[in-house]
Amino acid sequence: MVKKKLRLLVGIVNEKVEIIARALAAQNEFDVHLIGVGYKTKGLPSVMLAEERKLLAKLDEFIEISEESGVCDIQDIIGHVIKEKSIDFVMPLEDASTCLMADRKARYEIAGAVVLAPDYGNIEECTDKLKAARALKKYGFVVPRSSPAPKKASSIDAIVKILGGYPVIAKPRLGSGSMDTSIHYQRFSLAARLEDFLKEPYILQQYVNGRVYSVEIVSNLQGRVIATVPKLILATDGSVATCVQIRPQPVIQDLAARVARYFGLVGLSNIDILQGEDNQLYVIDVNPRISGSI
């Protein structure tokens, strides 16, 4: 009897080509038929587009969607692919696709696919950085002090005082991958970002000096944590990790596992934990999907 290959649908692939490269490297070992869903030219520089095209050409199949497609259109396309291609597993690669796949999770599972994402309500809570910080604090986890970013210059001083003074971190409330995150040591640099704060929701967060661990989590479909892999971040390019070292830390791994269980994370997820100079542990980010550095 011929063994059936597992059919894995991943998306949206464009901004996560490094994950696709790793999936392709492991494809034969795990006997997986890999199908990607993505845009043709999703706002990437020409150099990245060339690299992206090489990787996409190596996929068993690539389903192209229009950049003008709305959320419902994309959800319908994924649903159609699940039925037509007899997909076994669906794995989102970034926050937006995690939300849209979780929103149709029940329908996709009726069609026969296992969706490697938590329920929509859990995702909404942990991808909103302010909601996540408040929920974590409510349930006894330690987090840096956080506040909505000011909309006018007259509010800056009061908010910074609540956070404990400078430096402070500004980050998009719904951001992904540490994009547009910045550290501010003085008032004038923070005031210079007021225009950004008016365009989209941002939060300000207490800056804590210390070491950051990015913990990979593997959970079963019931949310039971099977494995944790703590990676100490040794170097960054801006806010993106460029060098990490796997370093077992039972206390940090236990904390990450408890956070994952609290949010009901399933499949692959990632939690960032900061160890302060006084060894206090802070939960600084919860990602309900596979990380780019896995």
123-141+209-287 classified as CATH 1.10.287.130: no
**Residue 293 — very low, low, confident or very high, per pLDDT cuts 50/70/90?**
low
Q: Judging by DSSP bridges, how do beta strands 210-219 and 267-276 pair with one another?
A: antiparallel
What pLDDT was estimated at residue 2? 47
Indicate the pLDDT class of residue 130, thresholds 50, 70 and 90. very high
Q: What is the mean pLDDT of the chain?
A: 87
Q: Which residue has the higher pLDDT, 292 or 283?
A: 283
Q: Are 168 and 160 in contact (CB under 8 A)?
A: yes
pLDDT of the residue at 1: 44
Min mean pLDDT across 16-30, 51-65, 167-181, 266-280 is at 16-30
Q: At what angle do helices 250-263 and 120-127 cross, to 10 degrees?
A: 130
Write down the domain spans for the chain.
Answer: 6-117, 123-141+209-287, 146-206
* Predicted pLDDT at 291: 80
Whether 130 and 148 have beta carbons less than 8 Å apart is answered as yes
64-68, 115-119, 149-153, 279-283: the lowest-pLDDT one: 64-68
Per-residue pLDDT tens over the stretch 226-260 = 999 999 998 876 556 778 899 999 999 999 999 99
Q: How many CA atoms lie within 13 A of 246 on its CB side?
A: 5
Who's near 275: CB < 8 A, 6+ residues apart?
Answer: 210, 211, 212, 213, 252, 281, 282
Return the CATH number of the domain spanning residue range 6-117.
3.40.50.20
- Computed from CA positions of residues 35, 36, 37, 41, in that sequence, does the dihedral angle turn out positive or negative? negative
Taking residue 220's Cβ as centre, other Cβ atoms within 10 Å add up to: 10
- In the block, which residue shows the tokens 């990490």? 244
Q: Which residue has the higher pLDDT, 66 or 132?
A: 132
CB 38 within 8 A of CB 10: no
For 184-233, how does the pLDDT look when each residue is reduced to its tens digit (9 = 90+)? 999 999 999 999 999 999 999 999 999 999 999 999 999 999 999 999 99
pLDDT given at position 258: 97
Question: What is the 3-class SS of the chain, one letter each residue?
Answer: CCCCCEEEEEECCHHHHHHHHHHHHHHHHHCEEEEEEEECCCCCCHHHHHHHHHHHHHCCEEEEECCCCCHHHHHHHHHHHHHHHCCCEEEECCHHHHHHHHHCHHHHHHCCCEECCCCHHHHHHHHCHHHHHHHHHHCCCCCCCEEECCCCHHHHHHHHHHHCCCCEEEEECCCCCCCCCEEECCHHHHHCCHHHHHHCCEEEEECCCEEEEEEEEEECCCCCEEEEEEEEEEEEECCEEEEEEECCCHHHHHHHHHHHHHHCCCEEEEEEEEEECCCCEEEEEEECCCCCCC
More confident residue, 89 or 3: 89
Structure confidence by residue, pLDDT tens digits, 152-188: 999 999 999 999 999 999 999 986 666 788 999 999 9
Amino acid at 30: F
Q: Write the pLDDT tens digit of every residue in 44-68.
A: 555 556 777 777 778 888 888 887 7
Class of the CATH-defined domain 146-206:
alpha beta
What is the value of pTM for the model shown?
A: 0.87
For residue 42, pLDDT over 80 is answered with no
pLDDT value of position 10: 86
Q: How far apart are CA 177 and CA 239, in angstroms?
A: 8
